[in-house]
Amino acid sequence: MRLHIALDDALVHEIDRRAGPRRRSAFIAELIRRGLEHERRWDDIDDALGRLPDTGHAWDDDPAAWVRRQRHPDRRAD
């Protein structure tokens, strides 16, 4: 599909410098893909905000002890 987009001269020169004048479309398409993916990730983050209950964590009281327990689990519990 063709799309007409107006860009200022400085931006076009920068695109040409980076991609070459015969690779403009592919270069711009890749940048748009990356930008849209970035926007999708932020949408996912925004959607997730506030979804986890604020009940605290197992490590809140003593983070160092929690880390030690993760490194050396109690084998007697097996």
Q: What is the pTM of this model?
A: 0.60
What pLDDT shows up at residue 21?
82
Q: For the residues 14-39, what does the mean pLDDT come to?
A: 95
CA distance 8 to 62: 57
Report which residue type is found at 58: A
Residue burial 33-52, b: 16+ Cβ < 10 Å; e: rest? eeeeeeeeeeeeeeeeeeee
Q: Is the pLDDT score of 78 beyond 90?
A: no
72 confidence band (pLDDT: 50, 70, 90)? confident
34 confidence band (pLDDT: 50, 70, 90)? very high
DSSP string of 46-75, one letter each residue: HHHTT-S-----TTSS-HHHHHHHHHS--G
Q: Is the pLDDT score of 50 beyond 90?
A: no
Tokens matching residue 30: 């890749």
